[in-house]
Amino acid sequence: MPDERLDGKLELYRNFWDMKPVSRPMVGFDVGGWFPFQRYADLRNIQEKGFIEPEMLDARRCLPDYDAFMARCLEVDDDFIKGVCPVSAIPWMEGMLGCALQRSGQSVWAVERMASWEELSGLALSAESADNPWFRKYIEFVQAAIADLQALLRRINALIQSFLTFAVTLPSFSGLMLRSKGTDNLLAEFLAAENKPADGPSYLGAGIVVIGVSPIPLWLLDTIFLIKEKVQGGDSTDFAQPPPPVGTEAVQPAPVVTPDPDPL
């Protein structure tokens, strides 16, 4: 992409981030549609209802597919900056949690794992844990993209840093837990937790932070920091900190608005 074209797009992004007045909204177009089993050579041989394993994917084999997609994107004169990420059709986080991944049409679905809290509490995602194949495969894709796109990384480093930090956490936390525990199991455990004795055991209380209706495993909050450490070898002090556990901050109730008395 010519420098002046990229600079113009970056200016549009800055105006949006700074909430400056603009003459029109930013407009972007998807090229080729959402057909991942046609776009990526590694996915084309996977049959309907077939299961996907990490060893079926090779980051280096996918690079020509990325190049072809980016070449088509550069032909479209829109406002968006296109980038690459590990195959977006793959539910990576669910795979890291141990769910089986199955093709359905042009999508990949995570099969509910029905795991116990004991199993989930022993799950680790770190540079030292070499026993998580989907985690290793995700890192392989990130490293391959970085090696192949060094010039692009230098030009839009801030945008790529955002990708490395948050791309793997795109699924909702509640969805991840439903896939890991199973919908019926998780609902039953929540109902049981409401009625248990105050001094009784509670994996819900020990293993998750409940924000609204979304249960968040404590170990998931560290995932974005672990990925940065694995890929870049740096520390995590410059990244946004995870939310505090429930009870460490006072929750302010919504204000009660009292209507003015009827003047008559």
Question: What is the full per-residue pLDDT of the chain (264 aa) written as tens digits?
Answer: 556 788 888 899 999 989 999 999 999 887 777 788 888 888 888 899 999 999 999 988 888 888 888 788 878 888 988 777 788 889 998 898 889 999 999 889 999 888 888 887 777 776 566 678 898 898 888 888 777 765 444 544 444 444 443 344 345 555 666 667 676 676 666 566 655 544 444 444 433 333 333 333 333 334 434 444 444 444 433 333 444 444 444 444 444 444 444 444
pLDDT for the residue 72: 83
Q: Is residue 212 part of a domain?
A: yes
Q: Is residue 263 part of a domain?
A: no
Strands (E), 10-68: 51-52
Q: Is residue 258 part of a domain?
A: no
pLDDT for the residue 192: 66
Domain with 127 in it? 3-232
Q: If we measure between CA atoms, which residue out of 91, 78, 83 comes closest to residue 36?
A: 91
Query: Residues near 145 by Cβ (< 8 Å), separated by ≥ 6?
Result: 59, 66, 84, 85, 86
Tokens of 76: 């479209």
Tokens of 9: 């797009």
Q: Determine how many CB atoms are found less than 10 A away from the CB of residue 259.
A: 5
Q: Is residue 130 part of a domain?
A: yes
Q: Determine how many CB atoms are found less than 10 A away from the CB of residue 248.
A: 7
Q: Write the burial class of residue 48 (CB in 10 Å: 0-12 exposed, 13-18 middle, 19+ buried).
A: exposed
Q: Write the burial class of residue 13 (CB in 10 Å: 0-12 exposed, 13-18 middle, 19+ buried).
A: middle
Quote the CA–CA distance of 88 and 163 in Å, as a whole number: 12
Q: Is residue 261 part of a domain?
A: no
Tokens of 119: 């199993």
How many residues comprise the chain?
264
Q: Is residue 79 part of a domain?
A: yes
- Total structural domains within the chain: 1
Predicted TM-score of the model (pTM)? 0.57
Q: Is residue 164 part of a domain?
A: yes
R_g of the chain computed on alpha carbons: 22
Q: Is residue 246 part of a domain?
A: no
Phi, psi of 215 (to 5 degrees): -80, 130
pLDDT for the residue 118: 81
